Amino acid sequence: MLVFLPACSRDNPDAAALLEPGPPVEERTAARFMVSAAHPHAVEVGLDVLRRGGHAVDAAIAVQMVLGFLEAPESGVGGGGFLLLRDAERDQLQFYDGREIAPAAATPDRFTLVGQALPLWAVVPGGRSVGVPGLVAMLAAAHHDHGRLPWSDLLQPAIALAREGTPMPSRLQRQLAEEDPSLWLSPDLRRHFLAQLRGKDKGDTPALRNPALADTLTQLAADGPDSFYHGEIAQALVERARTSWLWPSDLDPDDLAVYRAVLRDPVCGPYRQWQVCGAPPPSSGGIALIQILGMLSHFPMSDYGPDSAIGIHLVAEASRLAFADRERYLGDPDQVAVPITGLTDPAYLRARAGLIDPGKAMAQALPGEPGGRAVIREARSSRSTERGGTSHFSVVDADGNMVALTSSIEAPFGSRMMSGGFLLNNQLTDFSFEAEQDGRPHPNAVGPHKRPRSSMSPVIVLDDQGRPVLVLGSRGGSRIIGHVARTLVAVLDWQMDIQDAVALPNFVHRGEALELEQGTPIVRHRRALETLGHRVVETRMTSGLHGIERIPEGWRGGADPRLDGIAKGE
């Protein structure tokens, strides 16, 4: 089996991390239970819950709350998320939708001025981008259905860390040093993050503390998760969003009071001998993954391996077609009719695969018509504006229950506003800024209490006997779909160890250009891919893939070396 040579540019810290040797396989192999997440503190907290007999959902709550402190620019109680669960006792998959909703006052022209769509950079910072956070409600719903340990106990590790402090994670230090300098126009970020970064002695690692977040979590522990949506926490959140100096919000306390997490059926589809199950709408992730894999099933992917320009080309072409359908059809299923069955129908995907030429890139990838035409000629190609403030982790408990949880505040540092020690999301910028598409209402147009389309892609793979073989997900905005798709191909077709698979150089096609991870060996294929007809760009891509695969001895984990995390179990 071919593997990439370890030659990465030190100019890209994320790519340079791939140079470091991965953890020995024995350190990420376990017989009973396992956690793979973006920081060792979060993993240890999750393992402690599992040692005490906690359910995978219990561990997920504790892990998520710790990550909300350590990875504040990525996720937290001010955002939302999706939780995909495998219930071992019932042999059943469940999906908890904690996606944010728009205020009741929201209208399709929310991000326009004098009839023109505003640039994304102009609306990310400010109250108009803030949706009602859904993460707490989602965790509470899953805990109500499956939790074994008390809710309040699961918040204590995060409370202690936030109050007592810990060395600032290296990833967070890099973000503060390298992110857009406009971050520091925010008084909230200056007071909290920049003050702590600059408060260190020369050569020392800065400490990270957040007493305000500790107070918020203490209230949630004492009064229960409903206290997030009623009373002091909710009122303070609304006031902060409405007093933004840029694009003040129209959020109302009633918008928080009516929020509910939704239990939905996962979307599942075949890939060779496996069944791949993922996030249904309002995420586009599950459908897109099933489409990409369904098209690739008509090509001998195992013949190409991870260091093949043709393999990259085929994944890219399938991704282009999936993203075209994503733009045309995907939105909030409670307000838009999404043709899930048609989009994932094997016959439709076989017709779409027929558009892929192994020797030449399509001139344009267009959406199809499920149950009808493979291509709709008059439709526009897809676009994506999602950025990358997201985190993913995976958990397996001693009873075989599995959780894949992806959470997000959308852009790194969200709306640049804080309340109660947590960052407020800017998830409403995931809506289309245009109300119509090809003369009809856009499925992802802004609407009252509507959930914006997402790309978050928690996934569980089952074998031909229905047994779970892999749990996986990633960070990365709309690139998440590509990160997860190439990892699934690497594990299932190329039979790679999960750690080697998540450490592969990234490549993604979202409809406009084939992106290759800057400074990695994959860029040597640039000329070959351009010869095939692709427009190729090299860019930094900080995935955050965290997965667990079943092996005869139990479980084996993988953690993305681009972040600070580990996979560990017992």
> Residue 265: what pLDDT?
98
- Angle among Cα 510, 513, 518 to the nearest 5 degrees reads 100
536-539/514-517 β-pairing? parallel
Q: Binning pLDDT at 50, 70 and 90, where does residue 200 land?
A: low
- Residue 280: which residues within 8 A CB-CB, separation 6 or more? 95, 97, 264, 265, 266, 267, 286, 287, 333, 340
CA nearest neighbour of 173 among 201, 143, 193, 150: 193
b/e map of 57-92 (b: 16 or more CB within 10 Å)?
bbbbbbbbbbbbbbbbbbbbbbbbbbbbbbbbeeee
> Residue 199: what pLDDT?
64
Q: C-alpha 421: how far from its chain's center? A: 22
**How many whole angstroms separate alpha carbon 93 and alpha carbon 87?**
6
pLDDT exceeds cutoff 80 at 567? yes
Q: How large is the average pLDDT for residues 230-247?
A: 94
Q: How far is CA 227 from CA 119, 154, 216, 217, 220, in A?
A: 35, 16, 10, 10, 6
Are 190 and 184 in contact by the 8 Å Cβ rule? The answer is yes
pLDDT tens per residue across span 338-395: 999 999 999 999 999 999 999 999 999 999 999 988 888 765 655 555 667 899 999 9
Q: How large is the average pLDDT for residues 530-542?
A: 97
Partners of residue 549 on adjacent β-strands: 470, 556
- Residue 324: which residues within 8 A CB-CB, separation 6 or more? 365, 366, 367, 368, 379, 381, 382, 511
422-423/436-437 β-pairing? unpaired
273, exposed or middle or buried, with CB in 10 Å at 0-12, 13-18, 19+?
exposed
Pair of tokens at residue 336: 């838009």
Min mean pLDDT across 108-117, 220-229, 418-427 is at: 108-117
Q: Active-site positions? A: 390
Pair of tokens at residue 236: 């303070």
| DSSP-assigned letters across all residues of 231-292 | SHHHHHHHHHHHT-SSS-----HHHHHT---EEEPPEEEEETTEEEEEPPTTBSHHHHHHHH
CA nearest neighbour of 502 among 535, 464, 544: 544
- Residue 294: which residues within 8 A CB-CB, separation 6 or more? 269, 270, 271, 344, 346, 349, 350, 352, 353
Q: In percent, how much of the chain has pLDDT > 90?
A: 81
pLDDT exceeds cutoff 80 at 198? no
Amino acid found at 390: T
pTM of the model: 0.95
Q: How large is the average pLDDT for residues 503-512?
A: 96
Q: How large is the average pLDDT for residues 251-270?
A: 98
Q: Binning pLDDT at 50, 70 and 90, where does residue 5 land?
A: very low
Are 328 and 443 in contact by the 8 Å Cβ rule? The answer is yes
Are 33 and 397 in contact by the 8 Å Cβ rule? The answer is yes
> Residue 23: what pLDDT?
84
pLDDT tens per residue across span 7-57: 455 456 676 667 677 788 888 999 999 999 999 999 999 999 999 999 999
pLDDT exceeds cutoff 90 at 431? yes
**How many whole angstroms separate alpha carbon 324 and alpha carbon 336?**
17
> Residue 446: what pLDDT?
97
| DSSP-assigned letters across all residues of 541-559 | -----EEEEEETTEEEEEE
> Residue 475: what pLDDT?
96
Q: Where are the alpha helices (DSSP H) in 165-207?
A: 170-178, 187-189, 195-198
> In whole angstroms, how large is the CA radius of gyration of the chain?
22
Interhelix angle 56-70/40-51, rounded to 10 degrees, is 160
